[in-house]
Amino acid sequence: MVIIFPKSVKNDFYLQKTFVNPNLMSLAYKFVSIPVHENFKGLTQIIPKSDVDHEFGFANFTVLQYSSLIGLSCVEKKLSQSLIIDEETIQIFNGIVDAKEIEVSLVFSRSQDVRTWKTNRATDSLSRNILSLFFVSYSSIIVVPERCFNQSSIKYICIHSTGSKKSLSRVTDRTIIRIREVYSLSSFASLCTAGNEFRLEALDHQISFLNFVFNAHFLHKRRKASPNMKHIQKILLSGPSGCGKTRLVKHLAQLKKCGLVIVETWRIDHLPLAKIEKTLNAYFAEAVSIAEESDDGVCILLFDELESICQEKKQGGPSFRRAFPFLFGSFLRIVEKYPGLIIIATTNNIGALHSHIRCAGRMEVELHIGPPTEQDRYKILQMYLSNFKVSASTCRKVANFTPGFFGADLNALVRNVVRVRNFDPKLYRCERDLLNLFRKLVSITPCLSLRHGLGISPSRDIEMKHLGGLESAKRCLKSFVEWPLLHSDAFHRLGLPFPKGILLYGPPGCAKTSLAKAIAFSLNINFLFVSAAELYSSFVGEAEKNVTILFDKARLSRPCIIFIDEIDALAGNRNTSSKNVQSKILSTFLTEMDGVGNKLDVTCINKFSTGRRFQIDKDWMKNVIVIAATNRPDKLDSALLRPGRFDKLIFVGPPNSNERAAILGSLVQYSRMPVNTLIDFTEIANKTENFTGADLKLLLKEAGYAALLRDRNAREIVSDDVTAALRLVKPNDRLKKFSNMYESFR
């Protein structure tokens, strides 16, 4: 049977009535409960009506019996449409009895009405008038119709007990009504989701700190703390999109069962100033009313994406927008008058916020959410994959090659894997195939923090084994990058500082860039590639800002390698350069490498102890390594080359004879170039003195063209083709020209 719910009720007669075809005479005039949700049943009386089709029914489920309040909003939406029911699930009640005593809670839609009606003697008669219209049971809730709003703003009436668990009850003039609690709609919403708390992983430090803040407020409201004690009421929560800022606040609101008022600033940023002020005043008044509902009431006023209305002034923007930060600041100044109110603002880009918001006396604490560790990612993956048969070892392996991925990134990754797997389940039956699918999707879709903006994140298509020769450079690079990441405990034990920078220098074409990409791929860490030209800008201060953005991006994607190509164009010697712009960029670059110029500038709670001691994270550059490449190390400023900046200088020069043979073998093997087996790579290597890796790659390319010129249908490259290519390709003379200079740095 299909039950249809009319949008409005004509009069009181239609309340709690379900009209069906007379064929269902077995249920005629019976009081029944009909399941509408796993936690809810509608209480109604069956009324036969001749003009109703036998497959349909028209019902009013104003009263719902519940086992849990979770899902109430979903049920209300369902009751505004239609419902398919099974007649076998209908439960029949014997009848209705007059209740001697009933215990209820009232929920008001307007928070300002809570205090008014809480102390009003007319509350008892008001609730009695509404309750007398319905028959109820224990653990039921009345969704009060709008036509009953004439005298008050009561939205729900929760019936906790009626004196009988087996029969329905009716409220009469003799019924004693006891009011247990009076809630606002916002406070009641937290009860409806209290058992459905968000699962949060990787945010233990932030949760510990916010728990301390909430507990201090509860103590203060209960007058167990000194009234002169000032508690934290203004918190700025920063972190990239998808890191869990809003989810964290909702989790705390549910955990502490306190009110939550959310201001989505992006919805109002286009409005005129007067309209924004009026809207914010309404939100503030609602939050204050919720906080003052009870003696220990606390309410969170959450400003989501604050940078939408409080950005630093930009050229060309509307002049009235300059007043937005000062308008928000006025709320921050008066919040101390309301001890139960906590203002939390979230931002994706803390550097974009107006300086007025971050000055003394505004935000008391700036809490940052950084990238999750490998263990944190493992926990998050286990949470998202809990409904699928995926082993713990697979989760650990996926966590290993997803550095810089936040919760939202991992959620999107899991959803994409599930989609592909559902499309063709036969292809991904075993764990090995599933792991390969994860790897493939990670290479296609990087994490959000690397997906846009400055710094290209190249596809992971190169490994160390693809690079022939360069054994000495590989060993040095591996020891300086791999050891701190894999053996960080040994570094801490011996008091060794983590390396900050590595300079690869040598003539062009010697695989400096490929080396950096390969080491990042082999260690499963993020890789940001940028050239010096990308960092420059024609606007004043924009280049310095680009440098800062690049380093901030790397910190959010830790562990991460920043690779800067042609760094001599960015950080030239200040003694020989007359460009003032270059000097400013160099100063910013040096400051960022030292870890002093961290524009996030936030307090990171690394450890929360019973002594209420907060530790500031000073290791912002930990697990961020700068690798730079240059053909002219003599052009670099000496400040860059000192220990603590570029700790290691690695010469990447032309390969020797054995290395050239190895490079040729690697190029042929991994490019799948068909080469005649009679070709001797050692012989070619002896003929290509001073050839770089790029020269050898060009040599094979020209040999391929020579094969096509020889025979359009050629299937492989032969010795004659290589000989022809040798006549065309000549080595780069840069090494001979600057050999003495390179030697001075070795």
Find the CATH number of the domain harbouring 715: 1.10.8.60
pLDDT attached to residue 460 = 59
Instruction: Give the span between the Cα atoms of 543 and 737, in whole angstroms.
Output: 33
Over residues 528-587, the pLDDT tens digits come to 888 877 888 777 778 888 888 888 888 877 778 888 888 888 777 776 655 566 778 888
What pLDDT is attached to residue 222?
A: 62
Q: What is the pLDDT of residues 703-714, one digit of tens each?
A: 999 999 888 888
Q: Is residue 578 packed enough to be buried (19+ CB in 10 Å), middle (13-18) or exposed (0-12)? A: exposed
Residue 96 has pLDDT above 60, yes or no: yes
In a domain, 398, yes or no: yes
Q: How confident is the model at residue 345 (pLDDT cuts 50, 70, 90)?
A: very high
Of 23, 73, 22, give the one whose Cα is nearest residue 50: 22
Domain that holds residue 500: 464-651
My answer on whether 481 and 411 are in the same domain is: no
740 occurs within a structural domain: no
Domain co-membership, 11 together with 137? yes
- The reply to whether 232 and 136 lie within a common domain is no
pLDDT of residue 301: 92
pLDDT value at residue 233 = 86
3-state helix, strand, coil in the chain (%, to 5): 45, 20, 35
pLDDT bin (cut points 50, 70, 90) of residue 734 is low
pTM of the model: 0.70
DSSP state of 19: E
Over residues 379-402, the mean pLDDT reads 86
Task: Identify the pLDDT of residue 614.
Answer: 34
What is the rounded distance in angstroms from the CA atom of residue 736 to the CA atom of residue 672?
A: 33
Residue 28 within a domain? yes
625 neighbors 499 (Cβ within 8 angstroms)? yes
738 belongs to a structural domain: no
Please give the pLDDT value at position 150: 53
Range list of β-strands (E), 500-597:
501-505, 526-531, 560-565
Q: What is the pLDDT of residue 601?
A: 38
Q: Positive or negative, the Cα torsion across 566, 567, 573, 578?
A: positive
Residues 6+ apart with CB under 8 A from 61: 5, 16, 34, 36, 42, 43, 44, 79
Q: Is 355 a domain residue? A: yes
Question: End of a domain among 325, 351, 368?
Answer: 368
Under the banding of pLDDT at 50, 70 and 90, the label for residue 102 is very high
pLDDT band at 507 (very low <50, low <70, confident <90, very high): confident
The Cα 302–Cα 504 span in angstroms is 48
From the list 560, 470, 568, 450, the residue with the least C-alpha distance to 515 is 470
pLDDT at 8: 65
Q: Is the distance from CB of 702 to CB of 725 less than 8 angstroms?
A: yes
| Number of domains into which the chain is organized | 5
Three-class SS of residue 602?
Answer: coil
Dump pLDDT digits (tens) for 411-426: 889 988 888 888 777 6
Asked whether residue 645 is assigned to any structural domain, the reply reads: yes
What whole-number distance in Å separates Cα of residue 687 and Cα of residue 49?
102
Q: State whether 424 and 332 are in the same domain.
A: no
Q: Are 390 and 526 part of one and the same domain?
A: no
- 302, pLDDT greater than 90: yes
Q: Contact, 670 vs 607, CB < 8 A?
A: no
569 and 595: one domain?
A: yes
- Between residues 234 and 6, the one the model is more confident about: 234
Mean pLDDT of the 331-338 span: 85
Looking at the structure, tell me whether residues 28 and 150 fall in a common domain.
yes
Final residue belonging to a domain, choices 611, 635, 651: 651
Domain contains 739: no
Domain holding 258: CATH number?
3.40.50.300
Q: Given pLDDT bands bounded at 50, 70 and 90, which one contains residue 454?
A: low
Q: Are residues 295 and 412 in the same domain?
A: no
User: Residues 6 or more apart from 432 whose CB is under 8 A from it?
Assistant: none
